[in-house]
Amino acid sequence: MITRLRLTTLAFTLWLTSTTAAQAQSQAQDAPPATAAATANIIVFDASGSMWNKMESSTRIEIARRIMGQFLSGYDTAQPLGVIAYGHRKRGDCNDIEVIVPPGIINPAAVTSQINALIPKGKTPLAESLRRAAELIPNTAESANILLITDGLETCDGDPCQVAADLIATGIKIRAHVVGFGLTEAEANTLACITELTGGKLFNPSNGSELLDALQQSVTATPEPTAAPAPEPVEEKTFETALFLKSVGLGLPTGSMKWTATDSSGKTRELATALGHELKTQLPAGTWTIIAQGPEGRGEGTVKVSGPTRPSLDFTAPQMEVEFPPTAPLTAGVNAYLSFRIKTPPPGRPHSSFRLGIFPTDDPLTRIIASGQNRHVFPGAKKILPGEYHAALSMPKQPGIYKIAFIRTTETKHVVLAEAPIQLVAIPELNLEVPNRIVAGSVFEPKITSGRGEYDRLRLFPLKADGTRGRQIADFWYSTFLQRNEGLIDAPEKPGQYELVLTARTADKNNAPEVTAIVNVVSPEPSETTPSSATTSTPTTSPPARPDPKAKAKADIRLILPGVDATTRVTWNINPLEADGKTLSRDGRMGGGGNTTGGDRTLSLVPGLWRITAKTTDTNTKFQIVADILPDEPTQTFELAPQFDGTQFTLDVQGKMAHTPGGFFPIELKIPDGFTGTIAIHSDDDRSAPALFETDIVELAGATDHALPHPEKPGYYEIRINNSTGQTLKAAAFQVVPADLSSDSDADVPAPAAPQTQLTQFPGNLLGTGLINAEISGQTHEFMTTSKTMPAQQGPKHENPEVQKFLDSMAGKVIHTAVLRLLAGSIYVTLDAYGNIGPHGPKMMGKDRTSLELNFALDPKTLELKPAMRTLSYNPPGSKTTENQQTTDFELHHESTTKNPDGTLAFKGTFSGTLTTDMKGNPLPTPVPIKGTFDIQRASGNDVVAKALGVP
C-alpha cells in the first residue's frame, strides 16, 4: 500500500470589500458601529496540525499568533473585520470550518485573544474555506481583494485554482494575492494560478517580519488605475478558433495558462487566462503565432486562420525532478516504507507511467526485486504535487545493500529519474524522537528514522507516580500513523507525563526490538519544542500494582458508546475480572448492568479490572471494553469499542477472473465505522497457510473504489476480513483462471477437494456485438467482441438440481464478452475482444490468435467515465498468455454511452497509452505505444446493474 504524506497548510485569507451598516451591527459587543461605506476584511485562519511544525526558533502557530497580534494592533478599526478558522476542532475532518468573528467593527485585543485560543489539530480544506469566505461577501459589493497566506498545499482534494475561476464568474471584480509562507518555488507555482487568473500578486516570505510586511502591503494595495476608454474598434471579421495543447512529454496542464496571439506584423494580443489545455476564442483571418504559458509548461505553434479551425499546439513541460532523502536502515523481509521527494512535478494527470523499484546494486535496473506502479505510487491523484511521498514495498528477505530507483516509462524507453543506495537489516536499531514539551489537546510529530515497517506498532501510555504504565490510550500500526494520521499523534487532553512505545515487526517473529520515549504534556501555553531522543532497548515494564479489590471506596466513571444517541435504549452487563483481563473474578466485587437510555452513562465502581458490555435494543449493535479503574482519580472516562460479527460488512467479488500477475481486481467493500482489522487473500487449497496478501483495512475505509492485487498463479482463493484478534468475520471465494481462458470458458484450473459448481460457457450461436480498432507499434489490428445465445439443454438432466435450475433459467438468454458489473458503486465495464477469429469461435484462434481487453468504470447516474479502475491489456499474435502486455495508466475518452431498449449499453470512444509491463508486472524491454477506437453495440449486466441504471 503506497500513499503520499500530504503537507498541511498555514493559511489566512483576507477579503477586502465593502459592506453595509446593517452587516456591521452584527459585530463584537464592545465594538463601535460600522460606517455604511466601510471596507470589510475577512481573514481565514489556518489552525491545521502542521502549525506545530518548527520555524526559525519557534513554531508556525507561535509566529502566526505574534504576527497577527502586531497586524491587528495597527489595524484601522474603522474597517469591519471577520475571522474564519479551520482545523482547530477535529483532526482529519475536512468540514472543520468555523466563523470565529462575524464581519463587523472589532476590538483588536479581543480578536487576538480568540486567535491565540485556537489549538491546531486538523486538515487544510483550502478551497472550501475560500468558498465559505466568499459567502460572507455582501451582495452590494462591486469588488474585492483576497489575501491567501499558506505554508503548504490543499489537503482535502479541493481545487483552489477552480475556486478562483468560479469567483471571477460571479461578476465581482476580485484580485487575489497569494503569500507562500515557507513554500518552495515549485509549491508556490501550483498556487500561482490564483494570482494569474485574478491579476493579484505572489509573495514568498520566509520569516515573521516578511509575513507582516506582506500582510500590510496587501491591505494597502490599490487596484490598477482604470485605463482611458479605448477608441471604438474597427469591426473585423473573426472566425471561431478552438485551440488545443498536445503533449510531447509528460502530460497536459490542468492549472492556469495565459494565451496570446501574435500576427504577422508582430502585434500581440492577449486572448485569455484560463484553466486547462484548451481555449475557444475568435481570431481574424491570417497567420498567428499562438503561445500558452503557465507554471506547468509552455505550448507554442503557428496557426493559419481562414475559417473556423481546431488547431493543436505542442506543449512541453519542465523536466520532472525526483530525489531520495537520506534513508536509515530498513527492516528486511517485511513491508517497509521508502520515501521520495517530488521537487518538480509533471503537469496535470500524466500520460507516462511511474514505478518505484528495488534492485541489486550490480544490476543496470533490469532485474526488479520489488516495485510499486503508478496507481500506487500516487493513489487516486488527480494531479501530482511537489512534496514528500511514502511507498510501502515488500523488502527482500536477505539483509544487505540494495539500490532504489524512481523510473518513468516513455513510449520508447525507461528513464531513471532518481536512484540511491539503501541498507536492509534483519533487526533494526530503532530511533524515536519526540518534542520535549507538547501542548495538551494538540498534535505532535514523532520522528522515526529506522525500521519503518508497515506493521511496526506505536502505543501511548500514561505514566503513574511510581513510573509504571497506566491504561493504554493509543495503539496503531506505523502505516496508519503515516497515512491516515499524516505522521501526527493526538496529544492527551490532560497534562502529565506519558510514554510512547515503538515496537518493530521483523521476519523473525521471536525478535521484536522496542524503543520508548517520554512525552511531556503541558497546559495550553506556547512553548519552544526541542527534540529528545531514545535508542533501542529491551522492555522491562512490570505489570501495574492492582488496587485492593475489597476496598470500600468507589471511583466515579463515565461510559460512552460512540454513535449512540440520547434516545436509544441500551442493555448493560458489568463484571469484575482477574488480572489477566479474561477470567471472571470472585474477589467480592459486585457486578451489575441494567437498562438505560442513551449512549452516555455515569456510575461508581470499586477500583480494579472490569469487563463492560452494552447492546442497543433497536439495532443490536454491541460494544465492549476491559476497563482498568484506578483509585484516587477524578471521573475516569471509557469509550466502549463496537463489536462486529460480520453482518455489518459488505464483501463482493467476481466469482471467476482471468489471471493478471502484477495487476489488480476490483471488489465491493463496505466497512462499518469504528472497525479495525485486516483484509487478506488466502489460498483455498491450504486454508491454514499464512495470507498471500494482507493489509490494514482502515487504508481502504475512506475510498470509493477498492482493488486488491492478483494472486501469482491460477487457483481457488478466499478474501477474508479479520478483526484485530485474527478472527475472520466475513469471507468471499473466487477463482483465478489462466489468462487465455475468459471468465465464460469451460476450462477450469484443478478444483480443490471441496466440491464446487462452476457454471460458465455453453454451446450457442456466435454473434458480433462491436468492434475495437487499434494501432499497436504502427500496425493496425481489428478486434471483435462477441456473444452467445444460450440454448435449452439437450439430453439427460443435470444430477445437481441447483445446476439444472440455472440451466433452465438461462435458456434463450445471451452471454456477452462485453460485460457490465456493479462494483463499489460504479458500473465496471469489461470489453474482451478477439482478433483473427477462426471457424470455431474466439477460443480456438490458432497460431495467429490475438486479443485485447479494455476495462473501465462509469458513474451509474451520469454514465460519465471515472478515473479509477482502468486496465488495458493486449495479447500479440502467436504469443503465450504470460507474454500479454498491459498498462493501468492510459488516456480514455468516450464520445457517447447510450442505453439500448433491451437494457444493454452501447459505447463509442477512443483510447491511447503505452503498454509497459508483462502479465507478471515486469517491465517490457521496449514499451509498446497503442491507440485506437471502440464501437460496442451491446454490453449487458445482471439485474443489479439494470436496477442501478434505472432499467425495468
Does residue 642 have a pLDDT over 90? no
Instruction: Specify the range with the lowest mean pLDDT, choosing from 102-106, 208-212, 607-611, 675-679.
Output: 675-679
Q: How many CB atoms lie within 10 A of CB 581?
A: 11
Does residue 594 have a pLDDT over 70? yes
Q: How sure is the predictor about 765, in pLDDT bands with cuts at 50, 70 and 90? A: very low
Quote the number of domains for the chain: 7
Residues 6+ apart with CB under 8 A from 135: none
pLDDT in tens, 733-754: 888 887 654 434 444 434 333 2
pLDDT in tens, 686-721: 666 777 777 766 545 444 457 777 787 888 888 888
Range from 88-97, 148-157, 541-550 that averages highest in pLDDT? 88-97
Give the Cα separation of 270 and 301 in Å (integer). 15
Torsion angle, alpha carbons of 122, 447, 396, 889, to 10: 30
529: left (phi over 0), alpha (psi -120 to 50) or beta: beta
pLDDT attached to residue 880:
60
Which residue, 291, 316, 341, sits at the end of a domain?
Answer: 316
Residue 261, phi then psi, degrees to nearest 5: -135, 130
Instruction: Specify the range with the lowest mean pLDDT, choosing from 133-147, 600-614, 833-847.
Output: 833-847
Query: Which amino acid makes up residue 456?
Result: D
pLDDT attached to residue 546:
40
Q: Quick check: 903 and 399 in contact, CB under 8 A?
A: no
Query: What CATH number is attached to the domain comprising 708?
Result: 2.60.40.10
Q: How sure is the predictor about 397, in pLDDT bands with cuts at 50, 70 and 90? A: confident
Which residue, 186, 219, 252, sits at the end of a domain?
Answer: 219
What is the distance of C-alpha 637 from the center of its chain?
A: 33
Does residue 461 have a pLDDT over 90? yes
Q: Quick check: 612 and 571 in contact, CB under 8 A?
A: no
Which residue, 219, 248, 273, sits at the end of a domain?
Answer: 219
Does residue 8 have a pLDDT over 50? no
Q: Is 933 inside a domain boundary? A: yes
Give the Cα separation of 824 and 844 in Å (integer). 34
Does residue 557 have a pLDDT over 70? yes
Q: How many CB atoms lie within 10 A of CB 76?
A: 11
pLDDT attached to residue 756:
27
pLDDT attached to residue 372:
59
Q: How many CB atoms lie within 10 A of CB 87?
A: 33
pLDDT attached to residue 748:
41
Q: How sure is the predictor about 545, in pLDDT bands with cuts at 50, 70 and 90? A: very low
Instruction: Return the percentage of the chain with pLDDT > 90, whole number.
Output: 7
pLDDT attached to residue 736:
84
What is the distance of C-alpha 328 from the center of its chain?
A: 27
Task: Kindly state whether residues 366 and 291 are assigned to the same domain.
Answer: no
Task: Kindly state whether residues 404 and 368 are assigned to the same domain.
Answer: yes
pLDDT attached to residue 20:
33
Task: Kindly state whether residues 103 and 74 are assigned to the same domain.
Answer: yes
pLDDT attached to residue 857:
83
Q: Which three cell numbers stand for residue 279?
A: 481555449
Q: Is 757 inside a domain boundary? A: no
* Site of grid cell 517485511: 334
632: left (phi over 0), alpha (psi -120 to 50) or beta: left
Does residue 801 have a pLDDT over 60? yes
Give the Cα separation of 48 and 118 in Å (integer). 10
| Between residues 354 and 220, the one the model is more confident about | 354
pLDDT in tens, 116-140: 888 888 888 888 888 887 777 766 6
Task: Kindly state whether residues 720 and 861 are assigned to the same domain.
Answer: no
Give the Cα separation of 114 and 923 in Å (integer). 57
Q: Which three cell numbers stand for residue 769?
A: 456485438
Give the Cα separation of 810 and 808 in Å (integer). 6
pLDDT attached to residue 249:
66
pLDDT attached to residue 699:
47
| Between residues 519 and 827, the one the model is more confident about | 519
Task: Kindly state whether residues 447 and 416 are assigned to the same domain.
Answer: no
| Between residues 80 and 335, the one the model is more confident about | 335
Q: Is 608 inside a domain boundary? A: yes
Instruction: Specify the range with the lowest mean pLDDT, choosing from 292-296, 427-431, 660-664.
Output: 660-664
Task: Kindly state whether residues 504 and 458 are assigned to the same domain.
Answer: yes
| Between residues 814 and 319, the one the model is more confident about | 319
pLDDT attached to residue 350:
54
Q: Quick check: 277 and 301 in contact, CB under 8 A?
A: no
pLDDT in tens, 497-539: 999 999 998 888 778 899 999 999 988 754 333 344 443 433 3
Q: Quick check: 313 and 299 in contact, CB under 8 A?
A: yes
| pTM across the whole model | 0.50
| Between residues 460 and 153, the one the model is more confident about | 460
Give the Cα separation of 563 and 789 in Å (integer). 51
CA distances from 661 to 99, 482, 735, 776 (A): 52, 28, 14, 22
pLDDT attached to residue 501:
93
Q: Quick check: 660 and 921 in contact, CB under 8 A?
A: no
CA distances from 735 to 678, 682, 705, 751, 919 (A): 21, 12, 21, 9, 17
Residues 6+ apart with CB under 8 A from 901: none
Q: Which stretches of 889-950 are DSSP H helices? A: 943-948
| Between residues 521 and 770, the one the model is more confident about | 521
Instruction: Return the percentage of the chain with pLDDT > 70, whole number.
Output: 72
Q: Is 255 inside a domain boundary? A: yes
Task: Kindly state whether residues 461 and 410 are assigned to the same domain.
Answer: no
Q: Is 463 inside a domain boundary? A: yes
Does residue 5 have a pLDDT over 50? no
Give the Cα separation of 343 and 183 in Å (integer). 12
Q: Is 856 inside a domain boundary? A: yes
Range from 312-326, 471-485, 894-908 that averages highest in pLDDT? 312-326
Q: Quick check: 615 and 640 in contact, CB under 8 A?
A: no
Give the Cα separation of 667 and 826 in Å (integer). 11
Does residue 883 have a pLDDT over 70? no
pLDDT attached to residue 23:
37
pLDDT attached to residue 531:
40
Q: Is 302 inside a domain boundary? A: yes
Chain-wide mean pLDDT for the chain? 75
Task: Kindly state whether residues 691 and 822 are assigned to the same domain.
Answer: no
Q: Which domain holds residue 311?
A: 239-316
Query: What CATH number is attached to the domain comprising 95?
Result: 3.40.50.410
Q: Quick check: 729 and 672 in contact, CB under 8 A?
A: no
pLDDT attached to residue 460:
92
Does residue 552 have a pLDDT over 70? no
Comparing CA positions, the residue from 61, 145, 37, 42 lying closest to residue 100 is: 42
Query: What CATH number is attached to the domain comprising 614?
Result: 2.60.40
Comparing CA positions, the residue from 157, 106, 161, 105 lying closest to residue 130 is: 161
pLDDT in tens, 33-58: 434 334 567 788 888 877 777 777 77
Strands 531-535 and 905-918: unpaired
Q: Quick check: 334 and 506 in contact, CB under 8 A?
A: yes
Q: Quick check: 761 and 744 in contact, CB under 8 A?
A: yes
Task: Kindly state whether residues 728 and 808 are assigned to the same domain.
Answer: no
Strands 636-639 and 555-560: parallel
pLDDT attached to residue 257:
87
Task: Kindly state whether residues 815 and 908 are assigned to the same domain.
Answer: yes
Comparing CA positions, the residue from 640, 457, 659, 662 lying closest to residue 539 is: 457
pLDDT attached to residue 771:
81
Helix (H) or strand (E) holding 66: helix 60-73
pLDDT attached to residue 229:
56
Give the Cα separation of 626 and 609 in Å (integer). 7
SS (H, E, C) 415-471: EEEEEEEEEEECCCCCEEEEECCEECCCEECCEECCECECCCEEEEEEECCCCCECC
Does residue 262 have a pLDDT over 90? yes
Task: Kindly state whether residues 367 and 308 are assigned to the same domain.
Answer: no
Task: Kindly state whether residues 473 and 618 are assigned to the same domain.
Answer: no
Query: What CATH number is attached to the domain comprising 293?
Result: 2.60.40.1120
> What stretches of 152-309 adopt beta strand conformation (E)?
173-180, 202-203, 238-247, 256-262, 268-275, 278-284, 286-294, 297-305
Q: Is 228 inside a domain boundary? A: no
Q: Quick check: 137 and 15 in contact, CB under 8 A?
A: yes
